[in-house]
Amino acid sequence: FAKPVDAGQLINALDRLTGVEENTPLRVLIVDDDQEFGHNCVHSLEIAGIHARAITDPRETLNQLQVFQPDLIVLDMYMPICSGKELASIIRQQDRYVGMPIVFLSAETNRLQQQSVLSLGADDFLAKPISPADLVAAISARAMRARYLQRFLIRDSLTGLLNHQAVEEELSHEFARAERLQQPLSIAIIDIDHFKRVNDSYGHLIGDQVLRSFARLLQQRLRKSDLIGRHGGEEFLVALPNTSLVEARTLIDTIRTSFAALRHYGPAGEFTVTFSAGIAGYPHHRSQLGVMQAADAALYQAKHAGRNRIVV
Ligand code: GH3
Ligand code: MG
Ligand code: MG
Ligand code: MG
Interface predicted TM-score of the whole assembly (ipTM), two decimals: 0.96
Q: Which helix (H) or strand (E) holds 245?
A: helix 245-261
Q: How far is CA 125 from CA 50, 71, 155, 222, in A?
A: 20, 17, 30, 42
Picking from 36, 54, 35, 56, the residue whose alpha carbon sits closest to that of residue 46 is 54
Name which residue sits closest to atom 13 of ligand 1, judged by CA.
Answer: 196
- State the DSSP code for 34: -
Of 1, 11, 6, the closest CA to residue 208 belongs to 11
CA–centroid distance, 48 to ligand 2, in Å, is 24
197: CA distance to ligand 3 center in Å? Answer: 10
H or E element that contains 259: helix 245-261
Instruction: Establish whether residue 195 lines the binding site of ligand 1, counting it when its CB lies within 6 angstroms of any ligand atom.
Output: yes
Q: Is the CB of 263 under 6 A from ligand 1?
A: no
Cross-strand partners of 156 = none
Tens-binned pLDDT, residue by residue, of the chain (312 aa): 767 666 666 665 655 554 434 578 999 999 999 999 999 999 999 999 999 999 999 999 999 998 999 999 999 999 998 999 999 999 998 888 888 999 999 999 999 999 998 888 899 999 999 999 999 999 998 999 998 888 888 899 999 999 999 999 899 999 999 999 999 999 999 999 999 999 999 999 999 999 999 999 999 999 989 999 999 999 999 999 999 999 999 999 999 999 999 999 988 889 999 999 999 999 999 999 999 999 999 999 999 999 999 999
The atom of ligand 1 lying closest to the CA of 210 is: 29
Q: Please tell me the predicted confidence (pLDDT) of residue 234.
A: 97
Tell me the residue type at 234. E
Predicted confidence at residue 2, as pLDDT, reads: 66
Q: Say how far apart CA 41 and CA 24 lie, in whole Å.
A: 20
Total-model pTM:
0.76
Closest ligand by atom to 210 CA: 1
User: pLDDT value at position 4?
Assistant: 67
Read off the DSSP letter of residue 234.
T
194 C-beta closer than 6 A to ligand 1: yes
Task: List Cβ neighbours of 157 (8 Å cut-off, separation of 6 or more).
Answer: none
- Which atom in ligand 1 lies closest to the alpha carbon of residue 158? 26
Residue to mutate, 159, 196, 300, 311, ligand 1, most ligand atoms under 8 Å from C-beta: 196
Q: Name the β-bridge partners of 188.
A: 238, 279
Omega before residue 58 within 30° of 0, cis: no
Coil, strand, or helix at residue 79? coil
Give yes or no for a contact between 204 and 233, defined as CB atoms under 8 angstroms apart. no
Other beta carbons within 10 angstroms of residue 96's beta carbon come to 15
User: Quick one: pLDDT at residue 19?
Assistant: 44
pLDDT at site 153: 85
- Residue 208, classified by CB atoms within 10 Å of its CB into exposed (0-12), middle (13-18) or buried (19+), is middle
Who's near 5: CB < 8 A, 6+ residues apart?
Answer: none
What pLDDT shows up at residue 20? Answer: 39
Helical ranges in 74-162 per DSSP H: 84-92, 111-119, 132-154
Catalytic hit among 108, 170, 234, 235: 234
Beta bridge partners of 125: 104
Indicate if 234 belongs to the active site: yes
CA–CA distance, 211 with 245 (Å, rounded to integer): 25
